[in-house]
Chain A
């Protein structure tokens, strides 16, 4: 053993974007291929990131490979910019990508990395949405072998997935898939759109922004390119439905903070301030909620200033 070996002193200093440039280039080539074959799970040699597999290492590799110093980044987890994992990822990118701006406002971001949600505010052509993916293959519920799934995808053989929907309807009178709703992209590949709620699935369809999905542990990248058809799997006569936020008397629940009635809501138990059932609801998308509040505040202030003038 070489006992004279000294540890290099620069171990804590990392290059821009943490990964070495060859690795970033490889990820970008994979992204191009994924865009060319919408919905195809493009394999790549996923690198280990300094955070756990399952914490967004696939999304992070996409972000780090794409980001440049003129980008503005937004990171959300469960819709919120200030949840622990979002903060952790954002801090890491800030640490390893000096000069990159960060924002909580959806419209300001050029690059958005998200886990489990697509922002409520419609995205634009100038934006890229990166979704973190734990299970990249929608067929895994009916076929365990990856080799067989690959053939099934190639032949667009999705009947067993449809039988699952059929059996759901027979047993429960309802399709029981809650999130990770299988979605057909550009008429061929069916993707797992990551664990976004059904609420967000329609946002994939003809999206103006490029949507990239990265699975670090499973080593796959796939894409829903801009202006691409994305259809949730359903029957002609049993349509796909998003989450139902109506109360017992059929009224749409609203956010207890901003009053929005057109957003995905988180449900909390609150004995003191809750509704009759002890529940209160709040926007899951914190930036959207803040924006509604700010708009209300300025609308409230406007007549005042007019009065003063």
Chain B
């Protein structure tokens, strides 16, 4: 069995002031994630899982299920309200939420990668495609212009972005091409851990298929561990070995993806699978 890379324990995120009744009065049974007493949103509660080197873990659910919240807190876009996460790097381990802001920024730049559904969140549209990749390399203290150019060019070639568009602003690119640049940017520092948040949503079917192929290829080549957040059962079927199903901020089912798709246990998952078939 390969090495553990991430351990998440009871991750919780509440938007709002919170009250003692929040947790008991939200979740799948309560059929809401909004606390009826104080109006706070329990975006995620008690999320726990392990992730191993080279593994792809899927998180599936409808909008509002808390699936994006999980990767956002792991990538430090959001601070969790409670819970912990430990990242096992090659020779050190980090308790993610006890690190200071500079340490978090450093991990985020050097050891994690993120691809957002909306390219505006992942790309700087004021600089060229190559400049976007350069930014991540420069954050990691690469200081050689030639080396940065070379690495950016290789990454863009690898993600099938035309090399001669490297110096163009990604604003002008198609949606699929923007996602490829985002993937290249996320991979710039060869991170062992990659978060993918609805990366194919809103793209044409043929473009979706090509992007998913690219992600699989990268996983094979680099052995990158990934967390893939999606509402699309087809995406987890293709990519993820294991899957978590989330509803109203809670994990309601977890297991091998095939098992979940073939023999869903929770009534909600059954409905989800049935509607997709």
Q: Which residues in A have some Cβ–Cβ distance to B below 8 Å?
A: 151, 154-155, 157, 159-160, 162-163, 166-167, 169-171, 235-238
Contact = CB atoms under 8 A, between A and B. Distances in A.
Interface of B: 101-102, 105, 109, 124, 127-128, 130-131, 134-136, 138-139, 143-148, 167
User: In this complex, which of A154, A155, A171 has the most chain B Cβ atoms within 10 angstroms of its Cβ?
Assistant: A155
Most buried by B among A155, A166, A167, A237: A166
A157 B167 CA distance: 24
Q: Chain B: interface secondary structure?
A: helix
A160 B131 CA distance: 10
Contacts of A237: 144-147
A236 B127 CA distance: 21
A39 B69 CA distance: 39
B167 A170 contact: yes
Contact of A166 (B105, B109, B145): B145
Given A157-B105, A163-B138, A170-B167, A236 B144 contact: yes
A151 B143 CA distance: 22
Contacts of A159: 109, 135-136, 138-139
Given A155-B102, A155-B105, A163-B138, A235 B131 contact: no
Contact of A163 (B102, B105, B131): B131
A167 B148 CA distance: 12
Contacts of B147: 237
A170 B143 CA distance: 15
Given A163-B127, A167-B131, 14 more contacts: A157-B139, A159-B139, A163-B134, A163-B135, A166-B131, A166-B138, A166-B145, A166-B148, A167-B127, A169-B145, A170-B128, A170-B130, A171-B167, A235-B144
Contacts of A170: 128, 130-131, 167
15 contacts: A154-B102, A155-B101, A155-B105, A163-B127, A163-B131, A163-B134, A166-B127, A166-B138, A167-B127, A167-B128, A170-B128, A235-B144, A236-B143, A237-B144, A237-B147
Q: In this complex, which of A151, A154, A160 has the most chain B Cβ atoms within 10 angstroms of its Cβ?
A: A160
B228 to A, nearest CB: 27
Contacts of B138: 159, 162-163, 166
Contacts of B124: 163
A159 B127 CA distance: 13
